[in-house]
Amino acid sequence: MLDNREWATLILLAALLVVVLSIKSARSGLRDIILVFANLRILVLVGILVGYVAFEAWLGSLVSLWSWDLLKETIVWFLVTGFVLFLNVSDVTKDRRYFRNRIAAVVGISVFLEFLTNLFVLPLVAELLLQPFVAVVAIVGALAARTAEHRPAKLLAEGVLATIGLGLLAFNIQQIIVRWNDLDGQAILLELALPIWMTIGLLPFIYLLALYSNYELAFGWIEFDNHGTRWSRVRAKALLVVRLNIRSRTVRRFDIYWGKQIAEAPSFKTGWEVLSKFRQAERDRKKRAKAKEQAAADEQERLKRYAGVDGTDERGRPLDRREFKETTEALQKLATWQRGWYINQGGRYRKRVLAFLDDEQDRHGLPAEHGITMKIREDGQAWYAWRRTVSGWCFAIGAAGPPPDQWEYDGREPPSGFPDEDPAWGNDPLSRKEGSNW
């Protein structure tokens, strides 16, 4: 039986559907979505998904984890969690810790608190008023998070949502205390456990679905442009399955280049060698990626170790390199914009380009008050911008003429003039490359 919160949700969704259907453009968009999901292939996969979930429920019933009393909770879990995992099946390939993260998400304290918050619900009228209010506040918070200037609105929205959450939690705790003797502890525990074991049980299916999807893409590359003979392509697909088996992420990396190579292989042995080269290339790529990650971790450790430390290393570079990377990336972006503006907007550099960075959501790790100063010569034919990092070191970038002219500078103090005018920049764009901190 539905509770007041679920009834309120259905009523509000029905009202929203009526509004959508009353708008012609919205009706068109809804029709397009329905047509996408009405695809026979998708319907078959959804049918298999439903069958798998039913199989899970049957297995759960054998060990007394599931009964028909949990049918409503199972349907809610399927719509909120199971179907979402199905739609986001590509995450299996993208996230190297997919299983760990999904399991952590369903056994974390937040899941318990969410369950506790939903154990008892408010009167129907209160739910009908509360749910739209929460949705509006959440949307405001999400929109406010996109720009730094709206941060106060974001913090206010988060505060309101936190207050509502704590209020509902307090209400449920009070109800548990008052109704303690009437509670069915076993039923509550089974309801709490259901999303945990159902989600964990669904993960193998999601992985196999991702594997199927990746193999389908790989087979498509083998068939692309009809490389080789029909028999060679069939042989190539068989070899691919034998050599890569259930390595979903590795299969996903198989691209058009390797598809052409193996489809045109004249023999089983040659095809085997192609896949050996592919696997070796993948191992080399993983080693490079691991080395890059280790280098990034070492750099972070170095930044922490030398934070606030004066002095230089063996190459004469400052030990405290905090914000070096972030500052140079932001300045490089400004230089790119200036070149584009000069070429496409009348052959002049413009100070208004700095406002583009202010409007950017991603400032390469710099704070909203980034502290970049920009200077444009009166004739618009020279410019430079500089910033002092948190460690006190200064970086600058600029041009003394039309693109592709570009000068870079770093030192304890910023330059006092334009490139090719202030000696601090050096004699030419390349004169300060040696020993540069860029």
Per residue in 114-162, pLDDT (tens digit) is 888 888 888 999 999 999 999 999 898 888 777 666 778 888 888 999 9
384's tokens:
């430079």
First-residue to last-residue Cα distance in the chain: 65
Residue ranges per domain, the chain? 324-425
Cα 415 to Cα 422: distance, rounded to the nearest angstrom: 7
Cα 318 to Cα 311: distance, rounded to the nearest angstrom: 6
Cα 365 to Cα 353: distance, rounded to the nearest angstrom: 19
- Residue matched to tokens 């932001």: 330
Query: Distances from the Cα of 113 to the Cαs of 20, 77, 124, 238, 303, in angstroms?
Result: 34, 16, 22, 49, 38
Cα 7 to Cα 384: distance, rounded to the nearest angstrom: 62
Backbone angles phi, psi at 110, to 5 degrees: -65, -35
354's tokens:
């700095």
Backbone angles phi, psi at 374, to 5 degrees: -125, 140
- Residue matched to tokens 């000068």: 407
Query: In residues, how long is the chain?
Result: 438
Helix H segments across 23-150? 24-37, 40-62, 71-77, 83-87, 91-94, 98-107, 109-117, 124-144
Q: State the chain's maximal CA–CA distance in angstroms.
A: 86
Per-position pLDDT tens, the chain of length 438: 778 888 899 999 999 888 888 887 777 877 878 887 778 888 999 999 999 999 999 999 999 999 999 999 999 999 989 999 999 998 998 888 899 999 988 888 878 888 888 888 889 999 999 999 999 998 988 887 776 667 788 888 889 999 998 999 999 999 999 888 888 889 999 999 999 999 999 999 999 999 999 999 999 999 887 777 888 889 999 999 999 999 999 999 999 999 999 988 889 999 999 999 999 999 999 999 999 999 989 988 998 999 989 888 888 789 999 999 999 999 999 999 999 999 998 899 998 888 887 766 556 678 777 889 999 999 999 999 999 999 899 999 999 999 999 999 999 999 999 998 999 999 888 877 777 888
HEC string of 209-265 equals HHHHHHHHHHHHHHHHHHCCCHHHHHHHHHHHHHHHCCCHHHHHCCCHHHHHHHHCC
Whole-number pLDDT of residue 362: 58
Whole-number pLDDT of residue 148: 61
Per residue in 171-213, pLDDT (tens digit) is 999 999 988 888 888 999 999 999 999 999 999 999 999 999 9
Query: Distances from the Cα of 306 to the Cαs of 80, 99, 318, 322, 328, in angstroms?
Result: 47, 37, 9, 9, 19
Cβ 320 vs Cβ 347: under 8 Å: no
Which residues are within 8 A (CB) of 32 and not within 5 positions of it... i.e. 6 or more apart? none
Whole-number pLDDT of residue 206: 96
Whole-number pLDDT of residue 379: 93
